């Protein structure tokens, strides 16, 4: 019960990595708002946690909307009595290609979901975390926030931005007892990763890791448990890289 008495919001809670984080948080004793734009998957994550005896509430919303951030924070406070952990994890994808081929509206939308949402959720979480005696903000970045791959300017830009924004949040809010870190997963076998390839075998072959395999969501979620827990009490403004050696080469 490393997260006993923790009250958390996880965005993108119906997805591969988001659901694994929700499951591990609940197993460790946290109460979790499982937020996703996809109602069915948010409900699935929540139902599984409840079946296993954990505490979770599903919430449907679009992370790019400020009202969704306000509503999620209010739901945590009203339902759990406060908030001390935020995991900003939701993601949408654009087709891969150089930025000369990207429509400006598509660029704005993808940045709203993949980057600006972390601003909105942090903005509304921080005052409640302060009231609750402090908290931990975890922004899910990527190894592609450190290095680049072809055809992903929108992704590399957003993820690199998250890593440095976390440092800035850490600086501004340390005195309020609020820590902010990023996790940078490497290639992880989720539906999202696989859909970039013809089939799952092809995706697995294209792993670019030193172990010659894709990672699993449950190899990322323990990092989130650590950053959410008081075990990481001296850690802020850091990026926890869990990438199977992708960036070591
Ligand atoms: N899978 C990987 O290889 C990998 C590698 C590095 C980083 N990451 C990061 O991990 C995080 C999770 O990725 P994943 O692979 O589990 O993705 P996923 O597609 O499995 O999950 C993403 C979830 O976000 C939700 N979502 C999309 N748009 C939303 C919106 N506007 N509002 C609310 N929810 C929305 C989706 O419905 C989905 O449930 C992302 O931030 C991603 O960039 C993943």
Please state the rounded mean pLDDT for residues 1-18.
98
Counting from 1 in the atom list of ligand 1, the atom nearest the Cα of 112 is 31
- Report the predicted TM-score, pTM, of the whole model to 2 decimal places: 0.99
List of domains in the chain: 7-248 (3.40.50.720)
Contact 107, 161 (CB under 8 A): no
Counting from 1 in the atom list of ligand 1, the atom nearest the Cα of 191 is 20
The answer to whether the CB of 170 is under 6 A from ligand 1 is no
pLDDT confidence bin for 217, thresholds 50/70/90:
very high
pLDDT at 196: 92
Ramachandran region, residue 122 (left: φ > 0; alpha: ψ -120 to 50; beta: rest) = alpha
Counting from 1 in the atom list of ligand 1, the atom nearest the Cα of 159 is 43
The answer to whether the CB of 182 is under 6 A from ligand 1 is no
The answer to whether the CB of 12 is under 6 A from ligand 1 is yes
- In a 10 Å sphere around its CB, with 0-12 CB exposed, 13-18 middle and 19+ buried, how is residue 61 labelled? buried
The sign of the CA dihedral 142, 118, 176, 77 is negative
pLDDT confidence bin for 75, thresholds 50/70/90:
very high
Please state the rounded mean pLDDT for residues 177-181.
99
The answer to whether the CB of 137 is under 6 A from ligand 1 is no
Closest protein CA for atom 13 of ligand 1: 17
Closest protein CA for atom 43 of ligand 1: 91
Distance 12 CA to ligand 1 centre (A): 6
The answer to whether the CB of 113 is under 6 A from ligand 1 is yes
Ramachandran region, residue 139 (left: φ > 0; alpha: ψ -120 to 50; beta: rest) = beta
Give CA separation, 204 vs 17, 213, 241, in Å: 17, 6, 20
Please state the rounded mean pLDDT for residues 14-39.
98
pLDDT at 97: 96
Give CA separation, 222 vs 1, 176, 183, in Å: 13, 25, 11
Contact 3, 27 (CB under 8 A): no
pLDDT in tens, 137-155: 999 999 999 999 999 999 9
pLDDT at 22: 99
Write out the catalytic residue numbers: 155
Please state the rounded mean pLDDT for residues 184-195.
97
pLDDT confidence bin for 55, thresholds 50/70/90:
very high
What is the distance between the alpha carbons of residues 244 and 187, in angstroms, rounded to a whole number? 8
Closest protein CA for atom 7 of ligand 1: 142
Q: What angle do CA 69, 74, 80 make, to 5 degrees?
A: 125
What is the distance between the alpha carbons of residues 160 and 148, in angstroms, rounded to a whole number? 10
φ/ψ of 160, rounded to 5, equals -60, -40
């Amino acid at each position: 019960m490393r997260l006993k008495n923790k009250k958390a919001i996880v965005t993108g809670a119906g997805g591969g990595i988001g659901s694994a984080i929700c499951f591990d948080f609940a197993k460790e004793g946290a109460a979790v708002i499982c937020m996703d734009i996809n109602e069915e998957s948010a409900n699935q994550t929540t139902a599984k946690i409840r079946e296993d005896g954990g505490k979770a509430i599903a919430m449907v919303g679009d992370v790019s909307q400020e009202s969704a951030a306000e509503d999620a924070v209010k739901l945590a406070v009203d339902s759990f009595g406060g908030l001390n952990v935020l995991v900003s994890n939701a993601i949408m994808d654009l087709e891969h290609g150089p930025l000369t081929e990207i429509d400006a509206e598509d660029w704005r939308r993808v940045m709203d979901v993949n980057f600006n949402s972390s601003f909105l959720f942090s903005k509304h979480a921080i005052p409640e975390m302060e009231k609750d005696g402090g908290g931990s903000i975890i922004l899910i970045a990527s190894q592609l926030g450190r290095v680049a791959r072809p055809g992903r300017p929108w992704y590399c830009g957003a993820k690199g931005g998250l890593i440095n924004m976390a440092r800035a949040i850490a600086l501004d809010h340390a005195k309020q007892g609020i820590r902010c870190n990023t996790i940078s997963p490497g290639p992880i076998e989720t539906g999202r990763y696989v859909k970039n390839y013809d089939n799952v075998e092809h995706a697995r072959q294209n792993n670019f890791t030193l172990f010659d395999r894709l990672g699993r969501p449950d190899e990322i979620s323990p990092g989130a448990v650590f950053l959410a827990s008081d075990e990481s009490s001296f850690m802020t403004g850091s990026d926890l890289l869990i990438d199977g050696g992708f960036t070591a080469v």
